[in-house]
Amino acid sequence: MTIDSLYNNIDKNNFYIGRISQVYRDNSVAQVENLSLLAHRKMVDEFLIPNTINYLVVIESVKGVFLGEVFQTKVPSSENLHDSINHGKTETVFPEINIDIIGLMSYCDKKFVLPEFLTVGITDKVFLANKNVIQIYLNSIEVNGLLENKLSPFATYLNMNEEEVSLSPSTLFNHHLLVVGATNSGKSTSALSILDKMITEKKKVLIIDPTGEYYNSFSLQEVRKLSLGIDTTISPGKVSMQQWTMLFETNSNTQSAVLSEAIRSLRYQQKNGQTIFLKKDGENIAQMQQQLASVTRADTDFDISLLPEQIAAESVSEPNRGANYAYDTFKANANSYLVQKVTYQLGNTNFLKFFSHNQQMNNLLDEIDSFVHTPNSSLYINTSSLGATEGIGGMIIDLICNFVILQDNILPFVFFIDEVHRYTRSQYSENEFHNGLTFIAREGRKKGIFLFLTTQNPQDVSPVLLGQVGTLLVHRLTHNDEIRAIQNHLDDYSIKHIKKLNQGECILTSVNLLHNVFIHVKKSKRKQNNETPIL
């Protein structure tokens, strides 16, 4: 496409402002013919304000038509400048504009693409972008090249005449999507707006909601809803030992070993139909070990309510003389902290209901298995009744991640997790992160599992997980440490404006986009339980 075809309604010379005078690796400089060309003006339905920054220009070159964004406008500071302006001789003032080259359209193309190593040349002509150029730019914003139907518009561009943002699902999700923002910055509203478009257009979504704010957002005809501990359970035998240690936050090798031994003892009791804990004090050592050795991999179930008593019963040792176990006060004192943690966790009645064998309630893993193999279905899981700020949140996410990644022939879906910082970091360790989500981020795309996460603080997300995310929706952040955590995804201009964003405004940055864009997300009409009370 030639530059003349871009200005077919109005002569392109009305948009001409100057020529390229300097070319650098990271930007170019254009010499404006005179100051009068930077005056704002209206032509038919085009309203141009070229004396500022952040507007688009096109450069006519032998390589094609380059698209650029003006990031600096200046005039030489001198006495002659002031005299010329005071006497109305603007034609004797020669401003300069600095241009960031963001796209290239060759003469045989109809869309802008990444310029790669190509750039403009000295004396190339520079023109202000008209509405036609802006529309072609917006149609070229996605660079993944996939032929896919776009989602309904969920936002408008802030500096593009309120044009609507309509992107394909792959652009948003094929490198995973993370929504970041401080409290009341519009983060949850943005998430719901995108979820609304996904579910309305029958895309598969698995929603994990730790607060219950999305429970009334979708109808039962659109989404199957589960509430853990209320109408949905899981058999304790489906949980691995590593996940039990995560759940009860064992903070030493000794506690992990004791917990493992206690669970093995309860598995033995369950196998033999016993409803009480296994007493070891005073029992024959050889006989007890022989009995416990009969527990096989198939004997996985146990009564979790007996776990505190069983941990206390494990406080025995083998005496130097004698064939029976003896009560060990030292071990009892060491195990008491673990007993307290387990007892505290089991104090949540919904927790015990969740880890049960109730055949009248839904089974979590069976429901997820049905979801990943059913076309055009979505599943909502409410975890608020289990106290998601504790270790059980991370354990459930790990359990789901490990389960779905092992399934074969699953249908592609988006895995949405709200407030993901609740599930990533261990509450007993400042440096450890749960690894289920990281595993999905690395390997999930191969199976069609795409993450959609929200968080208030990107520092609470594993750096490994953050490194796998290719698309970010950044709302207002105020702390420098939080901004520093995502600075690799943004340019200098975007970083400086993060603190200035209003509610609902955000920066959309992605490896699938031609350029970072500033947008305002349109609030969905769906109900969301996140209203801030008025004092």
Give the pLDDT score at 28: 96
- How are strands ordered across the β-sheet holding 413-417? 164-165, 155-157, 517-521, 505-510, 471-474, 177-180, 449-455, 413-417, 205-209, 379-382, 224-227
Res. 109 pLDDT band, cuts 50 70 90: confident
Is the pTM of the predicted complex or chain greater than 0.95? no
Statement: residue 103 has pLDDT above 50: yes
Residue 400 placed within a domain: yes
Which of 436, 458, 460, 459 has the alpha carbon at shortest distance from 449?
A: 436
Give pLDDT, residue 431: 46
What is the band of 420 on the pLDDT scale with cuts at 50, 70, 90?
A: confident
Backbone angles phi, psi at 153, to 5 degrees: -60, 135
Q: Are 408 and 493 part of one and the same domain?
A: yes
Q: Is the domain of 117 the same as that of 8?
A: yes
pLDDT in tens, 295-330: 998 888 899 999 999 999 999 998 877 788 999 999
Give yes or no for residue 85 having a pLDDT over 80: no
Statement to judge: residues 219 and 250 lie in one domain: no
Confidence of residue 436 (pLDDT cuts 50, 70, 90): confident
User: Domain containing 184: what range?
Assistant: 169-235+357-521
pLDDT given for residue 427 in this prediction: 53
- Point out the domain boundary residue: 353, 375, 402: 353
Tell me the percentage of the chain whose pLDDT exceeds 70: 93
181: which 2 tokens?
A: 């923002």
Q: What band does 454 get if pLDDT is binned at 50, 70 and 90?
A: very high
- Residue 51, pLDDT above cutoff 90: no
Residue 402: pLDDT band (50, 70, 90) is confident
CATH of the domain at 365: 3.40.50.300
φ, ψ for residue 82, nearest 5 deg: -65, -40
pLDDT in tens, 197-250: 999 999 999 999 888 889 999 999 999 999 988 899 988 888 888 778 877 878
534 in a domain, yes or no? no
Same domain, 135 and 178: no
Phi, psi of 409 (to 5 degrees): 55, 40
DSSP codes, 192-207 = HHHHHHHHHTT--EEE
pLDDT of residue 244: 85
Examine residue 146 and state whether it is found in any structural domain, yes or no: no
pLDDT digits (tens, 9 = 90+) for 321-335: 778 899 999 999 989
Of 48-62, 120-134, 520-534, the one with minimum mean pLDDT is: 520-534
Sort residue 432 into left (φ over 0), alpha (ψ -120 to 50) or beta.
beta
Task: Please answer whether residues 132 and 7 qualify as being in contact, where contact means their C-beta atoms are separated by less than 8 angstroms.
Answer: yes
End position of a domain, from candidates 353, 374, 390: 353
pLDDT tier, 88 (very low <50, low <70, confident <90, very high otherwise) = low
**Pairing assessment for the beta strands 413-417 and 205-209 based on DSSP bridges:** parallel
Phi and psi (nearest 5°) for 195?
Answer: -60, -40
Question: Cα 182 to the chain's mean position, in Å?
Answer: 14
At 52, the amino acid letter reads T
Tokens of 55: 């507007």
Q: Residues 431-442: what's their mean pLDDT?
A: 75
Q: DSSP of 388-429, one letter per residue?
A: TTSHHHHHHHHHHHHHHHT-SSPPPEEEEESSTHHHHB-TT-
- Position 433 confidence tier, pLDDT thresholds 50, 70, 90: low
* CA dist., res. 491 & res. 509, Å (int): 9
Contact by Cβ (8 Å): 189, 524? yes
The answer to whether the CB of 177 falls within 8 A of the CB of 199 is no
Regarding whether 362 and 491 lie in a shared domain, the answer is: yes
Whether residues 395 and 421 share a domain: the answer is: yes
> 420 CB contacts (<8 Å, ≥6 apart)?
437, 453, 454, 455, 461
Q: Among the listed ranges 114-123, 277-286, 354-363, 492-501, which one has the minimum average pLDDT value?
A: 354-363
Instruction: Count CB atoms within 10 A of the CB of residue 33.
Output: 16
Phi-psi region of 421 (alpha: psi -120 to 50; beta: other; left: phi over 0): alpha
79 pLDDT tier (thresholds 50, 70, 90): low
Structure confidence by residue, pLDDT tens digits, 344-379: 888 876 778 888 877 788 999 899 999 999 999 999
Domain boundary among 321, 353, 385: 353
Residues 292 and 396 in one domain: no
pLDDT of residue 19 exceeding 70: yes
The mean pLDDT value for 497-506 works out to: 91
Residue 256 located in a structural domain: yes
Cβ-contact 215, 209 below 8 angstroms: yes
Same structural domain, 206 and 256: no
Tokens 């895309």 belong to residue: 203
Owner of token pair 């769906």: 526
Strand partners, 101: 68
Q: Considering the domain boundaries, does residue 130 fall inside one?
A: yes
Provide the pLDDT for residue 87.
57
**Same domain membership, residue 104 and residue 117:** yes
Are residues 361 and 342 located together in one domain of the fold? no
**What average pLDDT does this structure show over 429-450?**
78
CA quadruple 94, 100, 102, 108: dihedral, nearest 10: 30
Residue 318 confidence (pLDDT) = 87
**Residue 1 pLDDT > 90, yes or no?**
no
Residue 495 token pair: 């970083």
* Residues 393, 348 contacting (CB under 8 angstroms): no
Look at residue 153 and tell me if it is in a domain: no
Q: Reply yes or no on whether the pLDDT at 90 is more than 70.
A: no
| pLDDT given at position 430 | 46
pLDDT of 429 higher than 60 = no
**Which amino acid would we find at residue 442?**
R
Task: Dump pLDDT digits (tens) for 256-268.
Answer: 899 999 999 999 9
Q: How confident is the model at residue 86 (pLDDT cuts 50, 70, 90)?
A: low
Write down the mean pLDDT value for the chain: 87
Number of domain units in the chain: 3
d(CA 382, CA 397): 12
**123 and 80 fall within a common domain:** yes
- Integer Cα distance of 518 and 529 in angstroms: 27
Task: Give pLDDT tens digits for 148-192.
Answer: 888 999 999 987 878 899 999 999 999 999 999 988 888 989 999
| Residue 535 forms part of a structural domain | no
Burial group, residue 376, by CB count within 10 angstroms (0-12, 13-18, 19+): exposed
507 has pLDDT over 80: yes
Q: What mean pLDDT do residues 94-109 have? A: 92
Does any domain span residue 302?
Answer: yes
Q: Could you tell me if 292 and 368 lie in one domain?
A: no
> In 231-363, which ranges are continuous DSSP H helix?
241-247, 253-271, 285-292, 307-313, 329-346, 349-354
